Structures are given as structure tokens and as C-alpha cells.
Structure 1
Amino acid sequence: MPTGGIESIDRNQISSQRLLLNQLMNNRWAAFAAGLLVLAVACGGSSPTPVPEASDSKLQPPVEKPTATSIVPEGSSIVPKIVPDVDRSIYSVPLEDILFDTFGTTRARFVPLSEISDELQTDLRDAIIPVDLPAYGGADALPWLDDEDLVLGYEAGGEAFAYPINILNIHEMVNDTIGGVPLLVTYCPLCFSGVVFSREVDGQTLTFGNTSALYQSDLVMYDHQTGSYWFQVGGEAVVGTLTGARLEPLPSATMPWGEWRALYPDTLLITGADGGLETLFAGAVYGNGIVSGYQDRVNNGQFAFPVDEDKLDGRLATGEIVLTVETGGAVTAFPLGEIGDGAVNAEVGGEAIVVFTTAGGRSVGAFFRTVEDQTLSFDYQGDGLFTDRETGSAWDFAGRAVKGPLAGGLLERVSTRRSFWFAVAISFPDVEIHSP
């Protein structure tokens, strides 16, 4: 039987912040949205048209729509694009288990996909506004960002990008293309789950939005091209024509902002979105953190939205934060609370990997530990440095050898997810748990 369904203080706080931001952005986009609606009515009889990639889309306010479709601007033009309705006849999870957060717009706290009206389903689409065409600034661009605030970090082509969790708490998704790779930065506040995915599936580039629904108390996304619904932690399509497809996770790292900035002084920091909103995230509303105590409630089975007890895995506490390492077709979970500060040398899918973690698991990253045909084993020496036993070289948290015989060497990052255990166990029922 499902458990949970309590009114989450954290969810309410985030919803209030989103409402304020929606009001601010609606004022700026009101005329533009009205023009789109006029065009949408005029084009109502046309067949669905594929939505442009992230490089041609805009940050979208929730606007009232005349039909069960979503209007998406194409770059700077006002040509409307139609998002297909999800095909509810194809699914891998019960439709009644996908629950739409109504944000107080109806008497019901949530409405299942099996019962929701087309009108309400459409009105809730992107009520939590995803970020398309993100704008970036330097390390000092967000005045509220403190050294202890967590960021989700990504590297590509010699550049580093930081996405503060405070921003992802409110917007949950960022569509972007970095280093030629179409990617999706995702975060679910109810699972503490940060994952960066590739947006390419079977040669097609997808653009993602937010359904405002949850499955097992985790974010449910949709893609503009097919309307399919995707379970965030697993990156798996669970309803619609792409059901069964999975997004490929990309290497990323989570750590306090001060540590990321020290490792990457020239890092780019997300600051807003193109189109006059480049500095939106500098606003003080984004500096509000999340109320403490939520993890304890999850550990006590008090989920924000219902979770099926039969899907819970008692090998770890439900609210234990784990890092999954994924390579060679295998997935292994590393319980960060049990590891503490250290280096964990392991094998996943036949590949030698190492997990670096400090600050009680707040800083975490994973790497392949074979360098020039030599497999290394690491120990944590303190002050954010790790030493390999084979050569005595010292390595920083970015996987760079900073002194010793291998100075100048670089470890390759491995794909990871960071999340509460309950969401990982539901996404990967056969996941292995690393034990020393």
C-alpha cells in the first residue's frame, strides 16, 4: 500500500517561491503569450509539429491554453509548436500511481493520471518552469550564493559549469547544449536527486518539460517531441510512445560552492535565461534554502507524496543519500553517510573506479582509476587531496594529479546519480550496494 501523502513544508516553501517567480515572469511575457495563443487557435487544425531543440526554445511561463497541448516558442520567432498529448495506452507503471500536484488549484491535493482531465493536465504542464536557453556568468554573478551552498557541477571541453541546488529546487530542469552534447540537468527536491542526462535517444534530440506530476514521490518529466512521461531518477520513459527508453546519465559532481569554485576558478555559473532574463537568478528569492528536517521525515516513512511500501528496499534507510556509479551495464550504490570522508576503491561492471567523498558526503565525485594502463588505488590524505598507493602522487577532488610522479595526469569521470536511497531502489530494483 502507498505510504506518505503528508503536506511537505519543503514542498510548500518551494511552491510559494515558484508562484512569486511565475507572477514576475508572467508580467514580462503576457503580451508574447497572448500572441502565441492567437496563433495556436489559428493553427488548431494542423498536425503536431516537432518541438525545436533547447537552442531554439525559451523559458516558458504557465499560460492558459485552449486545447490539451502546450505552446512552445521557437527561438525569437512566434511560430507556435505543438507538444503531442501523452499516449496513455502505452505504459510500464500504473497510471493511477502518477500523481499530479495541483498546487492548491483544486480541492484535491493530487490527481492521478488515470483520472485527470485534459484541461487540468495541460494547465499544470510546466507550472514548474524549466530553464531553456540558460544564461551564464562568472563566479561572482549570484550575490546570495554562499560557499556552503550545494551545486551540481558539470565539465565539458575544458569548461566547468555550476548549477546551484537552490535554483534547481525551484526550476528542477535545465535544457542546454554544452560542448556539442544536448544535455538535461535535473533535480527533484523530494528525492534530493541530482542527475545530468544526455537528451539524445536513438538518434533523436529531445527537449524536456515538467508535468507537475510525481511517481513514487519523484519528479515526472515529459518530452516535447512525443509527449512521453519520464521518471527522473531512473531517467526512464514510463508512459507514452517512448515507454521503456532510458536517458544516458552523464558524469557530474555535487559539492559545496566554495569547493567547486576553488577547483574551477573560471567556472561558469547559471544566472538566468536568454531573452531579457539573464540575471533573473540573482534575485534574493533564490537564496532561500530548504527547511531542515525533511530527510528525517523521509527516514520515518513520511513522504511528500505516496510511495508504494512494496517497492521500498530495507537494505538502507529510505532517506540515506547514495551515489550510484554506472558503467559496463552495471549500477552500484555507495551510501555516502556510511563512507564519510574517504576514497572508495571498487569495481563496477568490470571497471576499476574510485569514489571521492568529503564533508560527510556533501562533496562527491567518481572516476575511473586506470591511468595509462595502470590501475591505481587511492586513500584520502586530508585537505581535499587523495594519494595513490602505487606512485604516491597527490590528486585533487577534480581528479587532477597535482604533485608526484603522475603530476599533470587526469582521471576520467564516470556517470553518477546522487539521490535518496528509496528513489534509487525503486528505479533500479536489482542495484548492488557497495560494502567495504
Structure 2
Amino acid sequence: MVRIVFISIFILNLFCGYSQNVTGTGITKEKYEYFLDFFTSRNPQTHKKALKYIDTNWLEDFEILAIESLYFLKSPSASSKLLNILQKKTKKNYRYDFNAWFAYLWNKKQTYHSSYYTFKAILHKAIDPRFDKYFLDREQQSTIRLDEVRWGGVLQDGIPPLRNPKMISPAKASYLNDKDIVFGISINGDTRAYPKRILAWHEMFTDQVGNVPVAGVYCTLCGTVILYKTEKDGVKYQMGTSGFLYRSNKLMYDKKTQSLWNTLWGKPVIGPLVGKNIELDYLSVVTTTWGEWKERHPETTVLSLKTGHQRDYDEGVAYQEYFATDELMFMIPKKDTRLKNKQEILAIRLPSKTDQNIAISSKFLKKNNIYKGTINNLNFTVFTDKSGAHRVYFTKNLEFRSYDKGALATTENGDIWKLHENHLENSTTKEKLDRLPTHNAFWFGYQAAFPGVQLIK
């Protein structure tokens, strides 16, 4: 998620109209309103009074109000004076390095007041009128730190999800080269490929695949594609892109309640659905090459270039600069240097059964194309094929001695097992072993979401 649109938040009629409805209704002015004065008024005297109040009555919970105000403030005079106050009170000289300011905040106990939810709602309402629903009156409906929720630079669904996108046969997909990266899924015999070159421009698709309602969520910043079932306990959730990030990971929202959802957790984290014990089930996604996927699955369908949007869908165009370095676009609280930021890992977890969480370096798995591990006292085996794609199965006490880096693996006793997308099958007895749902991710983003993750490298 990047700033693909330029939005000035100094649309005074939006700010003033909204703030009159939410703030200024009592005799006593709320503390956060002094920070909003920089946006709701062009009067230098109003700014001067606000600065004097902030300086004289400084509290630690003003820090996030000052930092977020400075992030959007375009008045050079007010901005420089507010920055001077912030630096004097915190004894930090970060100037306009917002990553440094946020890192400072996030590595200490949260200090913001409950009124910060209202401030954040008003501030971002001027960017998109729908944003205030995420934050207004949500202080009792939040499980994450609000100061870690950052605007990603786009409107709600400003990166447009693909809704029931057109799929075509491999023969018609002449735009794809065999080495192009695709995300492969298979549900109830419905097998599909979603090229990275297209999905990177949309970051989400929603559809019925194998008669199962799903959302494929691609967080380009943290390198994660997760396939969620969007029906849970009889309720169907229509997901979209909120425009906000948490620890450099995109936050989804559901259209009915406007609750914000953590993409990696599959849970609502701010809004009316918090506390309802809702967690979406996820399915496996294979990151592989188009050539390898269509060889395995000649029956597959694949996304058409006719998405209804005009984009440059050439391979490697979207996020080219971001993927070319190990630098982050949005800060996280703390980096774990055991791997490089964007080094790829395979995520293995069973959230409905255990808190145990395993990340295995893809580089390690490419060197060890058969890897046996245990989660929740269940044995699993990871098979890594010639394209670098990983498939994981519950394998009981089986020991595999060889794998052809394709579809066949052989046990120590000579039994041959065939790898399918949803199960592992004994070629002789036809016994089937279940697939363990997994997905890939960049190390920094996954570790930020799951700080206690076990790393294998």
C-alpha cells in the first residue's frame, strides 16, 4: 500500500463542518481540539493560542497528537513551532523523520488518552468521509494500539479489490511467461492462478471458488497472500481494503460494520466485531511459477487482464522499487535481525488449536526440500518443489527419503506418495493425508505480527 493518490486534507469545509458536529459542543474545549485548530482555521492568532496552550499544558499523551498533526500539517510556520514544542518536551531531535518518531512512541508504554480515537476520526475524515467510522467511539472496541495504526496513503478501497474477476484458460493467457510468479489455490476441484503482476495492483480478490466464498488478501508490503473463507458461523463478511496499516500490514474492513481486521490474524481488531470471538479460517496458497503451476494443473484457470481497471500489468512493474531493496516503507516497532527484513518465510500455525507458531526460512527449505517438523504434537512434512513452492502435509510417523521436486515423494519403506493441493495420497493403498494450510510472508512483517514466533533457518 503506497501513496498512489495525492490528497490535501486542508479542505476546510470538511474539517470545520465535521468538527462542529463532534467537537466544540461543550463549554470546555477538549485538549485534542487545540491540535485540530491548525487544520480548521487559517487564522494565525488561532494557531498562536493553540501553540501556547499545548506548550503550557503539555502532557505525555500529546505526543501522538503532535506527531500525527505534523504528518499532515502543511503550514510551515505552525509546523515548525509545533515541532519545536514536541522536540523540547520529549528531548528528541528527530525533526520530520516520522519513522523515528513512531519508533520512539511504539517502544514505550502507550500514553494516549481515549479522546485520541475522536481526534484520529476527525483528522482522517477529511481524507475520506468513511474513515471516521473506523475510529469514532471505538476506545472500548479495540485490541491493538491505536497509535500503531497508520494511514497507508489511499482511500477506502483506493487500491480496488477484484470482485468476482474474470478467469480464463491457460491457452488464452498469452500475456504470461512461464517464469512469472503466480499464487495458486485449489478448492473442491476449482483450481486457479492469480499472477503477482496483477494482484499487486489490487491486493485483494473476493469470489466463490469451489462454491466457497473466499477473499485472497495480498499485503504487498509484508509479502503475504492469505486465502480466507469469508463465511464464519453462518455469517458472510464482505471484505475490503481499509486504507490503513498496522505494523506495515494492511488492515481489512468488513462493509457491514466497518470494523478493521488484522490481515495476518484474520480477526477484527477495532470496531463493533471486537470481542465476538470471530476468526476467519484460512486455506493454503502456493507461491510458484506459472510454468510449474500449469504443468501440474492443466485444468487451471487464471486471471484475465480484463480486470475493469487500467494498470501496467507487466511482470515486476508494481512495487518495483520496494521489492528491489530491503528497506521498509512503513516502520515497525522493532526489527528482528535474525533474517533480512524481506527474506521470505513459510508460516505454519494452527490458530484454532494452539498458539504455537513456526516460521521456516524459504532459503533453508530450498536447500532441504524435505523437512519434517512438529506442531501441536502433530508431525508435518514440508516438500519444496523445483520452483521453490512449499506444500505441507500432516504425515504421522512417515519418514520420506526422497522427493522428485515435483509431484512424487518416496518413504523409507519404498511407498510412493503423490502430492495433491489438498492432500497427500499413497499411490498403492490410496490412503490420504491432509494438507496443512500455509502461506509465505516477508520475515519482518510476520515477526511483527507474531513476536513470539519460532524461527527455523
Q: CA deviation at 1:334?
A: 1.4
TM-score when scaled to structure 1? 0.67
Q: CA deviation at 1:86?
A: 5.3
Tell me, in whole angstroms, the C-alpha distance in 1 between the residues paired with 2:191 and 2:374.
27
Relative distance call for 1:356 and 1:161 in structure 2 (3 A) is: same
Matched with 1:325 is 348
Aligned positions of 1:252-331 closer than 5 A: 252-271=285-304, 279-280=306-307, 285-290=312-317, 294=322, 297-298=325-326, 302-309=327-334, 312-327=335-350, 328-329=353-354, 330-331=356-357
Relative distance call for 1:296 and 1:387 in structure 2 (3 A) is: farther
Which of the residues 370, 395, 413 maps onto 2:418? 395
Q: CA deviation at 1:263?
A: 0.8
Q: Which moved more, 1:408-417 or 1:124-133?
A: 408-417
Identical amino acids, percent of aligned pairs: 25
Matched with 2:187 is 156
Q: CA deviation at 1:380?
A: 4.1
1:68 aligns with 2:119: no
Aligned positions of 1:158-237 closer than 5 A: 158-237=189-268
CA contact (8 A) 1:68 1:85 kept: no
Relative distance call for 1:295 and 1:136 in structure 2 (3 A) is: closer
Tell me, in whole angstroms, the C-alpha distance in 2 between the residues paired with 1:366 and 1:383.
13
Tell me, in whole angstroms, the C-alpha distance in 2 between the residues paired with 1:271 and 1:295.
24
The Cα RMSD (Å) is 3.3
Q: Which moved more, 1:242-251 or 1:132-141?
A: 242-251
Relative distance call for 1:229 and 1:283 in structure 2 (3 A) is: closer
Tell me, in whole angstroms, the C-alpha distance in 2 between the residues paired with 1:223 and 1:313.
31
SS in 2 for 1:340: helix
Q: Higher Cα Rg: structure 1 or 2?
A: 2
Relative distance call for 1:284 and 1:193 in structure 2 (3 A) is: same
The one-letter code of the counterpart of 2:149 is I
Q: CA deviation at 1:409?
A: 5.3
Tell me, in whole angstroms, the C-alpha distance in 1 between the residues paired with 2:292 and 2:309.
20
Matched with 2:446 is 424
Q: CA deviation at 1:426?
A: 2.0
More helix by share: 2
Q: CA deviation at 1:282?
A: 10
Matched with 1:340 is 366
SS in 2 for 1:134: coil
CA contact (8 A) 1:331 1:349 kept: no
Matched with 2:153 is 102
1:246 aligns with 2:246: no
The one-letter code of the counterpart of 2:330 is F
The one-letter code of the counterpart of 1:325 is I
Tell me, in whole angstroms, the C-alpha distance in 2 between the residues paired with 1:400 and 1:141.
29
Cα deviation code 1:258-299 (max 9, x no counterpart): 111111100121226xxxxxx33898821231466745733x
Point out which structure has higher relative CO (alpha carbons under 8 A, 6+ apart): 1
Tell me, in whole angstroms, the C-alpha distance in 2 between the residues paired with 1:294 and 1:359.
26
1:92 aligns with 2:143: yes
CA contact (8 A) 1:380 1:387 kept: yes
Which of the residues 161, 164, 186 maps onto 1:133? 164
CA contact (8 A) 2:384 2:405 kept: no
Tell me, in whole angstroms, the C-alpha distance in 1 between the residues paired with 2:201 and 2:227.
17
Matched with 1:354 is 381
CA contact (8 A) 1:394 1:401 kept: yes
Tell me, in whole angstroms, the C-alpha distance in 2 between the residues paired with 1:401 and 1:303.
38
The one-letter code of the counterpart of 2:435 is R
CA contact (8 A) 1:234 1:428 kept: no
SS in 1 for 2:163: coil
Q: How many residues were matched structurally?
A: 329
Relative distance call for 1:141 and 1:199 in structure 2 (3 A) is: same
Matched with 2:394 is 368
The one-letter code of the counterpart of 1:163 is Y
Relative distance call for 1:135 and 1:248 in structure 2 (3 A) is: same
Tell me, in whole angstroms, the C-alpha distance in 1 between the residues paired with 2:239 and 2:291.
30
Relative distance call for 1:242 and 1:314 in structure 2 (3 A) is: farther
Tell me, in whole angstroms, the C-alpha distance in 1 between the residues paired with 2:265 and 2:339.
18
SS in 1 for 2:162: coil
CA contact (8 A) 2:166 2:307 kept: no
SS in 2 for 1:140: helix
Q: CA deviation at 1:433?
A: 2.5
List alignment gaps of at least 5 residues for structure 1: 1-9, 20-63, 71-82, 104-123, 273-278
Matched with 1:79 is none
Matched with 2:12 is none
The one-letter code of the counterpart of 2:148 is D
Tell me, in whole angstroms, the C-alpha distance in 1 between the residues paired with 2:372 and 2:158.
43
Tell me, in whole angstroms, the C-alpha distance in 2 between the residues paired with 1:67 and 1:364.
40
Tell me, in whole angstroms, the C-alpha distance in 1 between the residues paired with 2:272 and 2:192.
33
TM-score when scaled to structure 2? 0.64
Relative distance call for 1:434 and 1:383 in structure 2 (3 A) is: closer
Q: Which moved more, 1:132-141 or 1:239-248?
A: 239-248
Q: CA deviation at 1:191?
A: 1.0
Relative distance call for 1:231 and 1:95 in structure 2 (3 A) is: same
Tell me, in whole angstroms, the C-alpha distance in 1 between the residues paired with 2:417 and 2:309.
37
Tell me, in whole angstroms, the C-alpha distance in 1 between the residues paired with 2:416 and 2:178.
28
Tell me, in whole angstroms, the C-alpha distance in 2 between the residues paired with 1:65 and 1:156.
42
Q: CA deviation at 1:172?
A: 0.6
Relative distance call for 1:270 and 1:316 in structure 2 (3 A) is: same
Q: CA deviation at 1:250?
A: 1.3
The one-letter code of the counterpart of 2:150 is L
CA contact (8 A) 2:426 2:432 kept: no
Matched with 2:34 is none
Runs of 4 or more consecutive aligned structure 1 residues displaced over 6 Å after TM superposition:
64-67, 281-284, 399-403
